[in-house]
Structure formats: structure tokens, C-alpha cells
Amino acid sequence: MQAIYDFYSNGYIMTFFVALAILLFSVVQSVVGIGVLLFGTPTLLLMGYSYHETLYLILPSSILISLLQTINSYKSLKHTRCVFIYALPMVVIGLLMTTFVKNDVAIHYIVGSMLLMIGLIRSVSFIKQYLKRILIKNKVSYHIIMGLIHGVSNMGGGMLVVLMSSLHVKRNAMLANIAYVYLLFGIIQMITLYFFSKESINMDAIALASVSLVVYIFSVKFIAKRVSDLRFDSLISLLIISYGILSFVNLG
């Protein structure tokens, strides 16, 4: 089994399953705007990677895909002041908390809890509407909480989707702004990891990012436009809830 699990015996070479997961979630991101971080994080944690190892493996792919999305839709970008002032500093603070408080089990619980909460928000319309009303009245607090959650668990994407869906009517504008904020989050996370984490930058992950970008471009052209938004949205919500439950079962 170990020979199957490890693509090479060298510990510095990424496993085949990690590569497969990231490429698969790149396809998901082409359809719904999120995927590499939202599903890559719990997947790698369940495979036994630490939180920082997970970030180093998936952030290059996420950053590269988000960069392409941002460049292609830069005219649709709006509402970034609160992101820079409130959310980004909290991402750094949250990530530093995971750096100096070593507790991977707690990270599993946090990620699992956030997935369940995201799944509930996506599945129950009145909860989503209630959260949007709170957002409108408490934009600063929302950005602070979103940034902190993303720094601690990499799960700020769920709150980001709710934020952008309340600010933008058109789907393309919403996805463009999600990608832009994801890009900013990813860059600040990589900078913070570089200066404060004991883990080293994974060069294989950088190479895989190029492949994931090709997969993403292919998926946008041949898959994304052919998938029903409603049907796929329901599937994603089911997967999110399943991952959330699995995060706790794995610890049991």
C-alpha cells in the first residue's frame, strides 16, 4: 500500500493522490469559483499532512488560478478597501496563531466546523439571507471574522462567497471578485509562511500549479459552461457537509 500511496519513495516528492486531488479541485473551481482551498485543505489534513504542509502544497495552485481569473476579469473588480484594511491583517494574525500554537487536531475540528457551517449556509436559504442582512449592517466585523477564519483554517471561502453574492448580481462579477480576494489571501499567506513557518517551500507544488492551471483552463472551456449551476451547486453543498462530518469521524 505504501508503494501505491507514494508516487516516489523520496519524502520530498508529492504523492500521486495529492496531485490528483489538487487537479480534481481545479476542475471544481472552474465551475463554482472555489474548490482548491475549500476541498484541498480538508483532503490533505485527512491524509495526514500538517496545516502548514497543506498550505504549501495547495496555495501555489490556488494563487495561479486566481491570478488568471483576476486578469481575465479585472474590469469587474470592486469593494477591496475593507479587504486590505481589515481582512488581510486578520489572515496574518490567524496564520500566526497556527504557527505558534501547534495543535493539528484543533485545526481538524476548526476546518470540520467551518465546512459544516458553510454547508448549512449554502443549503438553507433563510440562513443565507439572514447572514447577508448581518453583513450589510456589519461589514467591518464581517471582514475581520472572515480574515481570521481564513488564516486559522483556510476556510474563509464560504464567507467570501456570501459576501460577494450580496455585493454582485451578475455571476461573472461575483466570481471575479472572489478570485481577486482569494489571490490576495493566498499571497499574504505565502509571505507569512515564508517568514514564520519552519516548513520549506514545496517546489513540486509549484510545478503542479502549472499543471493545475492547464487543467483549469481546459475545464473552463469544455466543462464549466456545460454544467447546470443549480445541480452542481447542490452537489458541492453535499460534498462540503460530507467533508465536515468526515473531519470529525476521522478523529473519533
Give residue limits of the domains in the chain: 2-249
Task: Report the chain (252 residues): mean pLDDT per 10 consecutive residues.
Answer: 43 70 88 83 86 91 92 83 95 91 66 82 77 80 92 86 78 85 95 84 81 89 72 72 75 46
**Mean pLDDT for the chain overall:** 81
115: phi then psi, degrees, rounded to nearest 5 = -65, -45
b/e string for 48-81 if b means 16 or more Cβ within 10 A?
ebbbbbbbbbbbbbbbbbbbbbbeebeebeeeee
**pLDDT of res. 103:** 55
Say what the alpha-carbon torsion angle 84, 89, 91, 95 is, to the nearest 10 degrees: 150
What pTM does this model have? Answer: 0.84
